[in-house]
């Protein structure tokens, strides 16, 4: 896959950023009350997968903390996916196939940060010919996605949330997409920004059938 050809530059960039960025704190969302009030049998049908950026080797963006937050708010099937520990887009596609095989009613949310969005995109490209879809995707502030995204974007997604800094314009022409702009100028603050957390929680609430 394309990420493998760029792996060393991304590792170097990630190591460099470790010395200049701080750790992120996840901002809580008011929607957590709605999600926790949903019957567990509804939440058990929701499968959130958070895909870290290979560039962010120290997880300064806080994707793992965002995944832990979602899990602590009742989404027991939450998974955290890291390229170096778990594998590439093919492995992610295998996970989604396994979820669909195990639970045909599963509602899947894929959330990626930075270059992690490209892993999600490539997994969708692998799944599309097999008519395997996911319900929602959330792309967080990824410049890499704009560079390498297939035209057209894979069509096996129910809807897409594009959460980007105001100065980092999101990709265009993605079907069924909505754009949410963040005021922060720090790329590594975007995954735990209050609005990002709200968008992710909103997606989880809708997949769990919440009313809010």
Query: At the top level of CATH, which class does the domain 2-19+30-207 belong to?
Result: alpha beta
Average pLDDT of every residue of the chain: 90
Q: Helix 63-72 and helix 194-207: axis angle, to 10°?
A: 40
Domain boundaries, the chain: 2-19+30-207
Q: In what order do the strands lie in the sheet with 177-182?
A: 79-81, 46-51, 107-113, 134-140, 157-165, 177-182
Q: Which residue ranges of the chain lie beneath pLDDT 70? A: 1-24, 210-212
Predicted confidence at residue 211, as pLDDT, reads 54
Report pTM. Answer: 0.89
State residue 118 phi and psi, 5-degree precision.
-70, -35
């Amino acid at each position: 896959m394309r990420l493998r050809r760029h792996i060393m530059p991304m590792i170097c960039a990630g190591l460099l950023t470790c010395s200049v960025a701080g750790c992120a704190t996840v901002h809580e969302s008011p929607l957590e009350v709605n999600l926790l009030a949903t019957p567990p049998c509804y939440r058990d049908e929701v499968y959130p997968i958070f895909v870290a950026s290979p560039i962010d080797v120290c997880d300064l963006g806080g994707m793992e903390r965002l995944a832990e937050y979602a899990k602590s708010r009742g989404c027991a099937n939450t998974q955290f996916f890291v390229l170096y520990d778990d594998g590439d887009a093919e492995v992610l596609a295998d996970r989604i196939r396994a979820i669909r095989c195990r639970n045909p009613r599963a509602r899947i949310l894929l959330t990626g940060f930075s270059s992690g969005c490209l892993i999600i995109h490539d997994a969708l490209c692998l799944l599309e010919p097999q008519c395997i879809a996911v319900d929602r995707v959330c792309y967080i502030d990824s410049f890499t996605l704009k560079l390498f995204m297939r035209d057209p974007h894979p069509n096996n997604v129910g809807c897409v949330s594009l959460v980007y800094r105001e100065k980092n314009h999101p990709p265009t022409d993605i079907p069924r997409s909505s754009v949410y702009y963040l005021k922060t100028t720090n790329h590594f603050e975007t995954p735990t920004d209050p609005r990002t957390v709200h968008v992710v929680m909103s997606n989880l609430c809708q997949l769990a059938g919440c009313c809010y």
